[in-house]
Amino acid sequence: MDGSLVVITTVDSEEAAARLSRGAVEAGLAASGQVTGPVATTYRHLGEVLDGTEWQVVFRTAADRVEALQAHLLAAHPYDSPEVIALPIVSASPAYLAWITRATRPSPPPGGGE
């Protein structure tokens, strides 16, 4: 699969958002993760309409890394059924898209140089 994607999830605390963001970038599954919040949310759960506060994490990843990123997020996420939505990046500078691809490749061994 070619291209780059934005992947979005939400969590119930700033600390959880920071952990997800850092974990995905450190694992080479995302080039970056941005945490925003708090955001007000209204949702339906077990037949009830509830209000809450969440933090959103927006990742940039290469399309061929999205399944691994999704698996990582689902395993690390504090929610039972988390939102993990992937959207294509329709337009961006070639240099930015190349950076996303480079940042989501395995790191070369020490001395191997980039």
> Could you give the domains of the chain?
4-103 (3.30.70.120)
Per-residue model confidence as pLDDT tens digits over 55-114: 999 999 999 999 999 999 999 999 999 999 999 999 999 999 999 999 999 765 556 544
Per-residue model confidence as pLDDT tens digits over 61-77: 999 999 999 999 999 99
Q: Are 45 and 32 in contact (CB under 8 A)?
A: no
Measured distance CA(30)–CA(74) in Å, rounded: 14
Per-residue model confidence as pLDDT tens digits over 34-49: 999 999 999 998 999 9
Can you say whether the dihedral through the CA atoms of 71, 75, 76, 77 is positive or negative?
positive
Measured distance CA(25)–CA(27) in Å, rounded: 5
